[in-house]
Amino acid sequence: MMTMRTRGNRRGFGQVVALLALVNVMAIIAAVPLTSAEPSKPLRIVAFGDSLTAGYGLRPKHAFPAQLQRVLKKRGHNVVVINAGVSGDTTAGGLERLAWAVPDGTDAVILELGANDALRGVDPKVTRANLEKIIAGLKKQGMPILLAGMRSPANWGDTYAEDFDAIFPDLAREHGLVFYPFFLDGVILNPKLNLDDGMHPTSKGVAEIVKRILPATEELIERASSQRASASKS
């Protein structure tokens, strides 16, 4: 039979054990940063372009921004890719809507404009000037840019094509942008990867674009992440 003294000793010992356990738990909680349970804020990438970005003839989930976001997330990137594509848009139209199409809080921009300029035969000097202003506006806000190149159709002649095609590598070099030489690389003129109009990619065509532009996009993400880290330290 247990005596009162023995029961008292065991009760006291149990209280000491419980107290030590509580102290250990409190120490663990104190050692964990308060933000550890909070997910990091995703990088916001705006895909700013024309129908090739908007996803002409496709469901929203098959458009370039949506497919790119899914692939990037599968590769472990915490990103949101926003669709700021407008079908039929030219570089002039993009310049006009720049202020509201790329909102505050954007971390990086994929700039895909110029195809409709080429289709309409817009003077390459005008296209270059519009893109210069768009790039300057984005850089003023401190946003890293991935410039997607475009090529002129052959019907305007060699001189036009040479002047137009040179716009994109020239601007990328002059402004230190991430550069993807041709947005439709691997897709253009392939009937299996384009809609019946022969100009706009199917969902599979968009998937091919995403696969090819992925390395440049990850370089853009690296720049945006580094910039965010630097800003948080200042």
**Could you give the residue numbers annotated as active site?**
51, 197, 200
The alpha helices in the chain, defined as continuous H runs, are: 4-31, 51-54, 64-74, 91-101, 115-120, 124-140, 158-165, 167-175, 203-233
**Could you tell me which residues are beta bridge partners of residue 81?**
45
The one-letter code for the residue type at 73 is K
CA separation, residue 228 to residues 10, 39, 43, 196 (Å) = 57, 16, 9, 43
147, containing H or E segment = strand 145-148
User: Among candidates 95, 80, 91, which has minimal Cα distance to 46?
Assistant: 80
d(CA 211, CA 67): 10
Which residue has 């407008």 as its token pair? 86
d(CA 128, CA 49): 15
